[in-house]
Amino acid sequence: ALPPPSSEPLRDCPLCPRLVAYRRANQAEHPDWFNGPAPSFGDPEARLLVVGLAPGRMGANRTGRPFTGDYAGVLLYETLLKLGFARGRYEARPDDGLQLVDCMITNAVRCAPPGNKPETSEETNCRQFLTGTIEALPRLKVIVTLGDVSRRNVLRALGLKASAGIAGHGSEFAAGPYTVLNSYHCSRLNTNTGRLTAPMFEAVFERAKALLDG
Ligand code: DU
Ligand code: SF4
């Protein structure tokens, strides 16, 4: 039998040449930044997995923790704190002591893509680590997907077709042994335009909580 897929890429993962070049350029310009594949963050016993798109250049790519320092992280971490999926305080630094509770956060693509836009081949290359992350969580029940790239990659990481899910904010469907809850991505663009409001985002995590408590 094949070994299980790895949940974490190598620190200098070579699989996506365009993203490797971007990491190197960022490293040359900002040697004090993380500039690598952002590892998953959270509770290894999590029943809830949150899957983002990819690190922001000046956010997770700088700090090394998903959504940390990204504008999107403010709403995400404040919502997790409010619902009890995190404790402590989010201060946009990886050493702020914030702890996730019954929750883990990862990204469909682990390296920052130029313009926040990964190419399809990069999603494909990185999907093995998403599969590995899912398989490494023994208690996992609910997956929150942030945006459509996340939704499609989670389905494919589970060996399903992207069409097996339902697009759009608030959709809910079974995917293998898990329930997927889909949300619009909590990016600055979506929150500034009102496409995604804080109550809309909270409702997704309230539903996750109800599924886990039920
Ligand atoms: O524009 P912004 O809200 O600062 O977020 C940048 C961009 O990266 C946005 O599309 C959210 C996304 N993102 C993510 O998917 N995962 C992360 O860990 C950090 C940021
Ligand atoms: Fe490797 Fe994923 Fe980074 Fe591509 S995006 S280089 S597969 S860690």
Side chain identity at 93, as an amino acid letter?
Answer: R
Ligand 2: which of 110, 117, 129, 150 to mutate, judged by most atoms within 8 Å of the beta carbon? Answer: 110
Ligand 1: which of 67, 130, 149 to mutate, judged by most atoms within 8 Å of the beta carbon? Answer: 67
Grade residue 201 by pLDDT with cuts at 50, 70 and 90: very high
- Per-residue pLDDT averaged across 207-211, rounded? 98
CA 26 to CA 10: how far, in whole Å?
18
Q: What is the CATH number of domain 17-213?
A: 3.40.470.10
The pLDDT value recorded for residue 64 is 98
Token pair for residue 92?
């946009």
CA 191 to CA 106: how far, in whole Å?
21
Q: Which ligand is nearest to the CA of 133?
A: 2
- Per-residue pLDDT averaged across 48-70, rounded? 98
Percent of the chain with pLDDT strictly greater than 90: 97
Q: Which residue lies with its CA nearest to atom 7 of ligand 1?
A: 56
Q: Is the pLDDT of residue 4 over 80?
A: no
Closest atom of ligand 2 relative to the 109 alpha carbon: 5
Domain boundaries, the chain: 17-213
Q: Is the CB of 50 under 6 A from ligand 1?
A: no
* Half-sphere exposure at residue 190, Cβ-oriented, CA atoms within 13 angstroms: 19
- C-alpha of 159 from chain center: 19
Strand order in the sheet with 48-52: 41-42, 103-107, 48-52, 142-146, 178-183, 172-175
Q: Is the pLDDT of residue 53 over 90?
A: yes
Closest atom of ligand 1 relative to the 72 alpha carbon: 3
This complex has an ipTM of 0.91
The pLDDT value recorded for residue 5 is 83
Closest atom of ligand 2 relative to the 19 alpha carbon: 6
Q: Coil, strand or helix: which one is 209? A: helix
Grade residue 3 by pLDDT with cuts at 50, 70 and 90: confident
